Amino acid sequence: MCIRVGERKRKDFQKAVWVFCVTAIAGGLAIGGGQQASSAEASPAKEASGGGPEAKRLGPPEVAPVIIGKRRFEVMPWGKERGLGQNGGYIAAFDTVSGKELWVLKVYDTAYDPALEEDVQDVFIASMTKALLSDKLHITDEKGRKYTVDPDTRSVEFDWSIRH
């Protein structure tokens, strides 16, 4: 049986479209996990308008606390809830015995463009680890920028060795 060139191209195109669709659907399920936001996470404004919850971006990444000596360091993703100038970029130190918050430190600034929605501009801390040879913290934000925090002096150094 002889297949014409035009028919072969059409079949190849159909196969490519099918593979793309299956891949896109599978990728969407893997990212979203098929889970819906709970009612506690839903936007009150969106619900008031009659629509369901709608996420504009993924929430901040989960970052495990780091313990150094008698202090526990935690990432504070929601700075604006505490009256701070931005979401993301803050860490807090706690006494491991009493649980009392000792201090809050801004690691980096986020510049907000007033022409855009603020929530899509938030830059959260993606990782925080203890340095191997010192009691400093290594912090990386969602954009891949790296910082070193000295908890004793509460100073922050930007890692210029990384290309940005």
Average pLDDT of the segment spanning 91-102: 98
Same domain, 70 and 131: yes
Flag whether 39 is in a domain.
no
Instruction: Provide the residue range defining the domain that includes 26.
Output: 1-32
The pLDDT, as a whole number, for residue 59 is 86
Same domain, 21 and 75: no
- Ranking 32-41, 74-83, 146-155 by mean pLDDT, the lowest is 32-41
Backbone angles phi, psi at 49, to 5 degrees: -85, 0
Instruction: Name which residue leads in pLDDT, 116 or 26.
Output: 116
Flag whether 42 is in a domain.
no
Flag whether 149 is in a domain.
yes
Which CATH number goes with the domain that contains 150? 2.40.10
Residue whose C-alpha is closest to residue 74's, from 111, 102, 108: 102
Q: How many CB atoms lie within 10 A of CB 131?
A: 13
Flag whether 163 is in a domain.
no
Flag whether 44 is in a domain.
no
* 146-155: pLDDT as tens digits: 999 999 999 9
Same domain, 96 and 151: yes
Flag whether 47 is in a domain.
no
Total domains present in the chain: 2
Same domain, 24 and 71: no
